[in-house]
Amino acid sequence: MSTNRRDFIKFVVAGAVASGCPVDLSLLAAPTEQNPEVDGEDNRICHQVRDGEVFTRPPASARHDVVIVGGGVSGLTAAYLLRNRDFLILEKEPHWGGNAYVMEFRGNTYATGAAFLESNEVAFGLAKEISLEPLPVNNWDGSIIKGEFVPDTWGEGLDKLPYSPSIREGFKKFKKDVLAMDAKTRAKELFGIPFSDFMKGYPEEVKQWWDTYGPSNWGAVTDETAAAIGILELQALAGADRKDNRYTWPGGLGAITRRLAEILLPKYADRMQVEASTVAVASEKNEVQVTYVHGGELKTVAAKAVIMATPKFITRRIVQGLPDKQSEAMQRIRYIPYPVVNLVFDKPVFNKGYDTWCPGNTFTDFVVADWVVRNKAGYQQKYNILSCYTPMPEEQRVSLLTEPGARRVAKNVLRDFQKLFSSSNIDPIEVHIYRRGHPLYMSTPGLFTQSQPLVRVPLDRIFFANTDSEGPVSTTAGAISAAQRAVREMEHRLAGKPAPRRQESVAVAG
C-alpha cells in the first residue's frame, strides 16, 4: 500500500488508558506543589488518584444495602445477582462492559477485548440464563508463518509448518513431551516456575510461537508465564481427546455485558451510574462509606457492604485499612497494556479461520469478527472486520496515553498485516484502535498459588471480585466466578453466618 493511499484511511481511536479517574484538583484535601495545574481531564491526575491522593470525604448523602465499584462483567454480574437488594453500581467509564465491550461499524459488531468462552465455563451457563445462545467456533487455531497459512497449528498443521524437517520434528517432540506430563499432579510445582524452563533443547521457533500466544491469552511471554498455564493449555489444544468447545458471538464476549446492562437498566437505571470515579472506600463501625466523583461533584454514600469489582492495582489505592500482606499481594500482580486494532474491509480479505496466530509481528493474532454467523442462511458479509489483538510490554504503556501514540500503534499493526497479505493489495476503509492501559493481568509464577488466595480475602464488609481475584488466567468466566463468590460471601456476612468454603480449581479457560 502506498503512502498516499494510506493517507486516506480513517483511523479511529477509542478507549481510556487512565488507571484512576479525572478529578478536579479543588476536590483534593491537600493540594501540594507537585500537583499540576490543569483544566478538565488529565492523565496525570488519574495517576495521582491511583497513587493514593487523600480526599476530604463529604457526609453520606444516601444509604444502600451494597455498593458495587466497577461496571465490567464482574460488577454487572454482581448487580444481576443482587436484584433483590438495594444496590448502587459505579463505573468510571461512560459505558458498561469493562474489558468485555463491543463496538459497531455500520451495524456490524466487532470486539474490543474478550473473545470467546468454553462450554464448561460458568460464563456459558450465565449466557444461557440471560437468553444469549452461544454460537460454536468449531475451528482449531491456525497460524501464518513465513507468509503461509497453516490451519490447525498444533494438530495436523505440524506436518505443514514452513520450516525445515528438523524444526518440524522439534515442534512434534515438544508436543509429545508436554502431553506426557502429569500437570495436575505437579500443579503446585509447575505454578511456581516459568514455562520457558521446559523449552530448552527445542527449536527457538517453538518458544517464538508461545511467546506470541501467551501475551494474548494470559499476558506473559514464556519467561514470565507459570509453567502450569502453558502446559495445561497445550494439553487442551493437542490432547488425544481434543475438542474445540469454544463459543462466542459476533464481536466476542461483550455480548454478555451488553445483555446484562439491557436487563438491569430498564428497572434500575437510577442505581447505575457511569462516569462515576470512586476515590475512597472506608470501613466504619457498622457500614462502609464510598466516596466518588460524579458530574464534577465529590459524593459519599454508605452501604452495609461493598463489592470491589475493580483491578487490584487500583483497589489497593482506594480501599482504606487493607492488611499489609493483602496489599502487598495486590501490588505483586502485574498488568500489560492491551489495545485491540480492528481493520475494517469492504470486501473479503480473510475467512480461512476464526483465530489466526502471527509470530514475529506487532500483533499476536487476529479474529474474524463475524466468524460464527458467516455461514448462516441469508447472511451476507458486507464488511470483513478483523480484530488484531495487540498485547504490549509493560514499558510501552506510555505509547497509548496520547492519540498520536495510539495511531502509531494502529499504523504499525496495519503495516505488519499488509506484509502478511502483500499479494492481495487490498486496503481497509477504516482502522479502529481501542486502547486499554491495564486490562490483562500477567499469569506469572506464584500468582495463582501465592498472591490470589490473599487478594480475595474479605475485609469485614468489603468483598473482592474482578477476574484478577480468581485465576489462574484472566477470563470472563473468572470475572463471573469472582462476582458469584463475592456475593455469597457478602450474603453470609450480612446474615451473620461463617464465610462459605472455597474449592480451588486449576483448570485453564480460554
DSSP string for residues in 181-240: S-TTTTHHHHTTSBGGGG-TTS-HHHHHHHHHHHHHHHS--GGGSBHHHHHHHHHHHHST
pLDDT of residue 5: 55
E strands, 346-490, where?
A: 355-357, 365-368, 384-389, 430-434, 440-441, 462-464
Residue 508 is predicted with a pLDDT of 47
- How far, in Å, CA of 134 to CA of 254, rounded? 12
CATH superfamily, domain at 25-98+254-331+443-494:
FAD/NAD(P)-binding domain (3.50.50.60)
Alpha carbon distance 207, 196 (integer Å): 7
Residues ≥6 apart with Cβ < 8 Å to 153:
140, 141, 142, 143, 161, 209, 357
Burial label, 457 (beta-carbon count in 10 A; 0-12, 13-18, 19+): middle
Instruction: Indicate the CATH number of 3-16+101-138+336-441 among 3.40.50.740, 3.90.660.20, 3.40.605.10, 3.40.50.1110.
Output: 3.90.660.20
State the pLDDT at residue 240: 87
CB of 506 closer than 8 Å to CB of 187: yes
Using the structure block, give the residue that is written with the C-alpha cell 470486501.
347
pLDDT score recorded for residue 507: 47
Residues 292 and 23: their CA atoms lie apart, in Å, by 10
Nearest to 124 by CA among 237, 233, 243, 247: 247
pLDDT the model gives residue 50: 57
**Top-level class of domain 154-241:** mainly alpha
Cα end-to-end span (Å), the chain: 35
> Which one, of 205, 185, 198, lies nearest residue 225 by Cα?
198
Q: What is the pLDDT of residue 329?
A: 98
Domain range list for the chain: 3-16+101-138+336-441, 25-98+254-331+443-494, 154-241
List of the chain residues with pLDDT < 70: 1-7, 18-55, 502-510
- Under a CB-based contact definition with an 8 Å cutoff, are residues 289 and 300 in contact? yes
pTM metric for this prediction: 0.91
